[in-house]
Structure 1
Amino acid sequence: MNGCVAVLDIGKTNTKLVVFDAAGKVVAERSQVSAPLEPDAEWPYLRLDTERAWAFYLAALKHFGAELPIEAVSVAAHGAAGVLVTDTGVAAPPMDYEFDGIAAVDTQYDALRPPFQESLAPDLPRGLNIGRQIFYVERKFPKAFARARAFLAWPQYWSWRLSGVMASEVTSIAAHSDLWRPMEGRLSSMVERLGWTPLFPPLRRAWETLGPLRPELAAATGLPADVRVICGAHDSNASLVPHLVARSDPFTVVSTGTWAILMAVGGKGRLDPRADMLMNVDVRGRPVPTARFMGGREFAFLAGDHPAEAREADVAATVAAGVMATPAFSDQGGPFAGRKGRIVGEAPNTPATRTALATLYVALMTAHVLELLEAPGDIIVEGGFNRSPAFAAVLSGLMPGRAIAVAATSGAAEGAAMLAHWGKPHAPPRLVSAKAWRIPGLAAYRERWERAL
């Protein structure tokens, strides 16, 4: 455990390489914005740009490997992508889940997908159920589908490119995919019915070493030949890892980025598929009640291109003026995805007031979804919303009596790094108690917002 772990952190919006030292401290980081490839004559659907990301990762590994003793590479990646592969490459390039044209197969697919009671995955728009992506390729590109040897979920696609070893992993194939029975721990009836079972490589644990870095990659990056490649995990589940190791059930993690993913570890609440509630599976294979909404995307819509720092005075002024945003500002995911968002009252016209309204909105949505989920225990906020203290401060004000803490680091990358040393002692994640902003009239403001839903 004297070396560093390099983490490929592959989100919807950003592609990152984060390097952690043996003590779990971030010692290097590099990122680039992710952008899909537009449809073309060969592949007429929106695709993920794997080769741009691959070139970025090789360059970053080479750069940081020259300075730091990297001994393992791990992966955390979002849960709405996967790749049909041959022995040597892709059978069909991976789809961006925002591709509208996938609706062409909806009628056929919806007749075949497993019932919610089995998969505990709601019927999601576009390609957010990755089973729908596989089905689209099978129906629209049968020759490409016939070439496929395996389907690799997004984290395991990258660990395969690094190690040459194919694997399935439960957090990835169980993430609102229609591919898994979380309460039984096996592939869904749809997978069996469509004859897809042979496409899934053997299950490996998220923390397992798949093998060393492929020799040609070690040569290209200058990394040692014995660098271990870790199987990896779905990013939201990776964000749970530091807390799973450090505390007992029950507790709730709010993982924030493009999506706000709320995970009730030890939760017993009823799941409502109409509210985008589902069952994830953690790295240990245990079901975790989960709810989601597209918080980062909606915040960006409301805050504008140049958001300011949200200040307590600006949030208080917004509350006093009665200006509020009601959902939804994304048509993907969340309990209100079918509604069109609106601003009640005079629309904000400065960066500060727009950011204040955006902060109130995502905090109100989070509080609402936490209650739908009947989320138990302490609430831990991690990820992008922690760049400013405003979100946790407003959320704490909206939920008096609940213990809310802020994680000092981004859990997905940290959790993926911890997988490389699973079972070894780890320092608990550093948490800071959120200090509620005492905003006059906030409780009444929330009541009016709830009535407007």
Structure 2
Amino acid sequence: MKQKVTAVFDIGKTNKKFFLFDKDFKEVHKEYISFEEIEDEDGHPTENLPALKQWLKDVFDNILKSEEFSVKAINFSTYGASFVHLDENGQILTPLYNYTKEIDAEIVEQFYNEYGNDKELMRTSGSSKSPGLLNSGLQLYWLKHKKPEVFKKIKYSLHLPQYLSYIFSGVPLSEYTSIGCHTILWNYETKDYQEWVYKEGINAILPPIVSTETSLNMNYNGKRIKIGVGIHDSSSALLPYVRSVKKPFVLVSTGTWSISLNPFVDTPLTLEDINSDCINYMRINGKPVKSSRLFLGNEYKVQVAKLSEKFSKDDDYHKTVAFNYETYARINSDFKYSFKWESIEHKNMPEQTNYNYSTFEDAYHHLMLELVKLQVENIERIADLEKIDRLYVDGGFSDNDIYIKLLSHYLRGMKLRTTKASLGSALGAAIAISDTKLNSKFLKKNYALKKHVPFIING
């Protein structure tokens, strides 16, 4: 008898992944691929959308022929800030413009002069001001005013998760997590599109909005399959925590970016939040997720490379360094900010890096102490720690002994847990279209949940 499974395509900027999950959300099959980027008309690197589409179809068609699995549902998790524009025949009109692409400065200035100069737009939309397409709504404005001949042909503009769903369903839809993630499209106060969207007539090319939990029961290649509408990957990665943890918490998702997420807010951002570079993600029910980003992993990589060169250590030597209390105590007793960051701006940063240590271990402890102080500020920016006492950390830094011990120490009023969420956003996409209720044991069973306690201060 074939095993009943839910299929998920989890599409990152680099790796494209396909998973099958059983009824208990255990991974039973996976496939990976990556594609060389192509260039848009301006020579900017972008997703090879035709190759991606072909791979999606080939992988899914093959799995439907499997003698081992019976696919009952499929959903899609992808990176955000990316639109696919379709004409009236469903044909793609433009490249999938990369969210790193910067556009004509005069168009950006024109937009913000007309709609966003007083920061009210940034506040109510939960977005930060961007010179390029990281705010995906700006792409629609840019197309209308810079490429009107293309804009006139657009029947629907779909965020990438919804386009992947469209490939299989043929039904154009919008959903909350893609709309609400730093797009400048959504107004968290009115719970509707921003006024500028209507003034520009852009609402006409945005398909009907449905719940992220929506699925379409369809006949696909002779099989009756439930097709999800897709979900933004950051919102998807948060979903298993929201569904299984009943008390308020903060999730810190670490990697190249360290993103602190607080899903327990009921109000839009304040001007103070915007000035502190906070933004909103969105839960599947449309509620805001207050968040703050820190380029922690990138800065860590840069500074560790410098330390490795200075002390003539192998590139991976830093992975062997464990927390040493005596080293920490000695550094902390006469602490001075010593690192000049390359990808982070901070008021305490010196003019140049200046540390006087004779060993890699000492310098590395000092580096981690400074980075954790930045991380603590980042967490405090988005949460009232007198009201929230649970902290989850997943991603690359969950394995860093010094990072975890210092974070536990400086936030010792919080109960710190680390998780191995390698399936993260894919698992969330499967859960989004499932009727299964998660309990408090879910993280322990599926995420290798580990408790941490603050170290004891000697003397």
Fold shared by both chains (TM-score > 0.5): yes
> What is the Cα deviation at residue 99 of structure 1?
1.7
Return closer, same or farther for 1:13/1:311 CA change in 2, 3 Å cut-off.
farther
* Matched residue type, 1:299: Y
Q: For residue 311 of structure 2, what is the aligned residue in structure 1? A: none
> What is the Cα deviation at residue 149 of structure 1?
0.8
Q: For residue 221 of structure 1, what is the aligned residue in structure 2? A: none
Q: Secondary structure at the match of 1:28?
A: strand
Q: Are 2:140 and 2:202, in contact at CA under 8 Å, matched by a contact in 1?
A: no
Task: Percent identity, please.
Answer: 22
Most deviating of 8-17 and 86-95:
8-17
Most deviating of 184-193 and 317-326:
317-326
Return closer, same or farther for 1:384/1:24 CA change in 2, 3 Å cut-off.
farther
Give CA-to-partner distance per residue, 1:67-121, whole Å, 9 cap, x none. Answer: 4333222112222222222242222122111123454522112123442343232
Give CA-to-partner distance per residue, 1:15-39, whole Å, 9 cap, x none. Answer: 3223222111122333345654334
Q: For residue 310 of structure 2, what is the aligned residue in structure 1? A: none
Q: Are 2:177 and 2:235, in contact at CA under 8 Å, matched by a contact in 1?
A: yes
User: In 2, Cα distance between the equivalents of 1:278 and 1:112?
Assistant: 21
> What is the Cα deviation at residue 191 of structure 1?
0.5
Q: Secondary structure at the match of 1:124?
A: coil
Return closer, same or farther for 1:439/1:11 CA change in 2, 3 Å cut-off.
farther
User: In 1, Cα distance between the equivalents of 2:50 and 2:336?
Assistant: 45
Q: For residue 308 of structure 2, what is the aligned residue in structure 1? A: none
User: In 2, Cα distance between the equivalents of 1:340 and 1:109?
Assistant: 36
Most deviating of 293-302 and 355-364:
355-364
- Aligned residue pairs, count: 425
> What is the Cα deviation at residue 164 of structure 1?
1.3
User: In 2, Cα distance between the equivalents of 1:180 and 1:69?
Assistant: 38
Q: Are 1:171 and 1:282, in contact at CA under 8 Å, matched by a contact in 2?
A: yes
Structure number with bigger Rg: 2
User: In 2, Cα distance between the equivalents of 1:348 and 1:437?
Assistant: 28
Q: For residue 445 of structure 1, what is the aligned residue in structure 2? A: none
Q: For residue 363 of structure 1, what is the aligned residue in structure 2? A: 372
Q: TM-score of the superposition, structure 2-length normalised? A: 0.80
Q: Are 1:325 and 1:343, in contact at CA under 8 Å, matched by a contact in 2?
A: yes
User: In 2, Cα distance between the equivalents of 1:7 and 1:257?
Assistant: 22
User: In 1, Cα distance between the equivalents of 2:164 and 2:70?
Assistant: 21
> Is 1:232 aligned with 2:234?
no
Please list, as runs of the form range in 1=range in 2, the aligned pairs for 1:79-98 lying within 5 A after superposition. Answer: 79-86=80-87, 87-98=89-100
Q: Secondary structure at the match of 1:300?
A: helix
Most deviating of 177-186 and 240-249:
240-249
The structure 2 residue matched to 1:106, chosen from 105, 108, 112, is 108
> Is 1:382 aligned with 2:380?
no
> Is 1:155 aligned with 2:137?
no
Most deviating of 18-27 and 241-250:
241-250
Q: Secondary structure at the match of 1:392?
A: helix
Q: Secondary structure at the match of 2:224?
A: coil
Q: For residue 168 of structure 1, what is the aligned residue in structure 2? A: 174
Return closer, same or farther for 1:330/1:58 CA change in 2, 3 Å cut-off.
farther
* Matched residue type, 1:226: R
User: In 2, Cα distance between the equivalents of 1:398 and 1:63?
Assistant: 51
Q: For residue 449 of structure 1, what is the aligned residue in structure 2? A: none
User: In 2, Cα distance between the equivalents of 1:103 and 1:137?
Assistant: 14
* Matched residue type, 1:400: R
Please list, as runs of the form range in 1=range in 2, the aligned pairs for 1:299-318 lying within 5 A after superposition. Answer: 299-304=300-305, 306-307=315-316, 308-309=318-319, 311-313=321-323
The structure 1 residue matched to 2:452, chosen from 426, 435, 450, is 435
> What is the Cα deviation at residue 62 of structure 1?
5.2
User: In 2, Cα distance between the equivalents of 1:234 and 1:316?
Assistant: 44
> What is the Cα deviation at residue 369 of structure 1?
0.7
> What is the Cα deviation at residue 239 of structure 1?
1.7
Give CA-to-partner distance per residue, 1:319-338, whole Å, 9 cap, x none. Answer: 8566967575437xxx759x
Q: For residue 220 of structure 1, what is the aligned residue in structure 2? A: none
Q: Are 2:253 and 2:259, in contact at CA under 8 Å, matched by a contact in 1?
A: yes
Return closer, same or farther for 1:61/1:364 CA change in 2, 3 Å cut-off.
farther
User: In 1, Cα distance between the equivalents of 2:204 and 2:408?
Assistant: 48
Instruction: For structure 2, list consecutive stretches of 5 or more residues without a partner in the other structure.
Output: 306-313
Q: For residue 253 of structure 2, what is the aligned residue in structure 1? A: 255
Q: Are 1:12 and 1:258, in contact at CA under 8 Å, matched by a contact in 2?
A: no
